[in-house]
Amino acid sequence: MHVVFIEPAFPKNQREFLRGLLSTGARISAISERPPEALPSELREGLFQFERVRSVVDEHAMAEAVKRLSQKARVDRLEATVEAHVMAAAHVREQLKIYGTTSKTAWLCRDKPAMKEAARKGGVACAASARVETVADAEAFAKKNGYPLILKPLDGAGASGTTKVTDDAGLKAACETLKVAQGRTVAIEEFLEGHEGFYDTLSVCGKVVLDFACHYYPNVLEAMRTRWISPQIVCSNRVDTDAYKDVRKMGQQVIDALGIWTSPTHMEWFAGAKGLRFSEIGCRPPGVGVWDLYCAANEFDLYAAWAHAIVHEKVPFKPSRKYSAGMIALRPDRDGTISHYDGWEQIQQRFGQWILDSHLPPAGTPTQGVEGGYMANAYVRMRHPDFDTLRSMMNTVGETVKVKAR
């Protein structure tokens, strides 16, 4: 088996996927925008071959690199784990007849209106949604479905570019910001009230073999817009209980509807007055270090599990479900440069045994905007055997630790 992994050097956690692949005993090659010296020696020396290209989303350059790699050994798999690389990899696979995620599936996991249409056909409950090509399209959708509504780029990840509108004036302003009148096509959908979470899987031959459920506190759109909030992502160790039965059923239905085969997935959902609703899915892992939380919560190596799924189409590891694990983002009180931290020593004394790690940039570090996400500034990651106790501890962290800027 010869597996080619796309961009092992950046972002930094890409190295973990490469490490997992190298642990399988297969021949592993890499295509990167960076020189091989960007990798630690223990990873670099384990590679079979290495190709550098100007851009890993340049499909012609990637295809030519794969052809060169195949001269010494046939390429059996071509894998990408970054959202922006998934479509290019799928196109090259089809061009060179390499097994893996198809361009149709990759497109369905990027184009949100098409994604929801396919999910509905598969019997999955979704928010009302449509493709908006003109301002008139948006106005017609609003007249039919009412406010509030959400507008977002077709291929946006998470809350990137997402706008909530509550009236005609807001809709017009959002269309202007998203350049709808200039010919840009965007997605529009009803705004779902309720709790937001996500369901992540590793599927093999279309069937879920590993799964994990997480919760956002508060929902993503609010978290990415409000400075004073210290938002949390919390992984539950109760996913095997009946409480997650419907989420797990929905996840498999979406995987079936979109034709996802052997791949990691990241599916977001809402639960509220209208029941459980599918939001969106990607045929790739989640971001912001969530797989690290899964490893810590379940006392196993998910990166190696993924690699075995790719190489052997089976996973010889099982999650322990011993812990819940979570991350809390800590925002500076203003834009500028970090001055100091209040309350951190107190948290270390109270909860030190449950802290997995922390990232507290030193004084003088420039701050990043709230919209930068959960890992943009400071954060703390923790675990505990009881989900509710973990939530209480993380709330205390958010109330106690203050990031001061000047």
Residue 116: inside a domain = no
Same domain? For 159 and 267 the reply is: no
Q: Are residues 170 and 237 in the same domain?
A: no
Give, in degrees to the nearest 5, the angle at Cα 295 between 46 and 255. 95
**Which pLDDT value is given to residue 70?**
97
387 and 260 together in one domain: yes
State the average pLDDT for the chain.
95
Do residues 94 and 65 both lie within one domain? yes
Does the residue 120 lie in any domain? no
Cβ-proximal residues to 105 (8 Å cutoff; 6+ apart), any chain:
90, 258, 259, 260, 261, 283
| 156, pLDDT greater than 90 | no
Q: How far apart are CA 136 and CA 119, in angstroms?
A: 26
- Percent of the chain beyond pLDDT 90? 89
Q: How far is the CA of 331 from the CAs of 78, 351, 373, in angstroms?
A: 38, 20, 10
299 & 384 share domain? yes
In the three-class reduction of DSSP (H, G, I as helix; E, B as strand; rest coil), residue 77 is classed as: strand
Q: What is the pLDDT of residue 43?
A: 97
- What is the token pair recorded at 109? 């996991």
Of 76, 108, 140, the last residue of a domain is 108
353 — phi, psi (to 5°)?
-70, -20
Q: Kindly state the average pLDDT of the residues 161-166.
A: 88
CA proximity to 393, closest of 345, 350, 358, 356? 350
Same domain, 165 and 306: no
9-57: per-residue pLDDT in tens?
999 999 999 999 999 999 999 999 999 999 999 999 999 999 999 999 9
* Structure tokens that stand for 222 in this block: 């609010």
Q: What is the CATH number of the domain that holds 350?
A: 3.30.470.20
Are residues 276 and 338 located together in one domain of the fold? yes
- Whether 283 is in a domain gets the answer yes
SS3 category, 380: strand
**Whether residue 94 is found in the same domain as residue 29:** yes
Residues 13 and 73 in one domain: yes
Domain end marker among 190, 224, 244: 190
> Given pLDDT bands bounded at 50, 70 and 90, which one contains residue 225?
confident
- In this prediction, residue 118 carries a pLDDT of 97
Q: Which residues contact 160 (CB under 8 A, 6 or more apart)?
A: 153
Give CA–CA dist 220/235, Å, rounded: 15
Pairwise CA distance, residues 46 & 42, whole Å: 6
For the chain, what is the domain count? Answer: 3
Residue 22: which CATH number? 3.40.50.20
Q: Are residues 210 and 307 in the same domain?
A: yes
Quote the pTM value. Answer: 0.92
Q: Are 295 and 355 contained in the same domain?
A: yes
- Domain membership of residue 88 as a residue range: 2-108
List Cβ neighbours of 347 (8 Å cut-off, separation of 6 or more).
355, 380, 396, 397, 400, 401
Q: Tell me if 114 is assigned to some domain.
A: no
Do 296 and 250 fall into the same domain?
yes
pLDDT tens digits, one per residue of 178-195: 989 888 899 999 998 899
Burial (CB < 10 A; 0-12, 13-18, 19+), residue 191, is middle
Instruction: List, for residues 233-273, the tens digit of each pLDDT value.
Output: 999 999 999 999 999 999 999 999 999 999 999 999 999 99
Whether 235 and 297 have beta carbons less than 8 Å apart is answered as yes
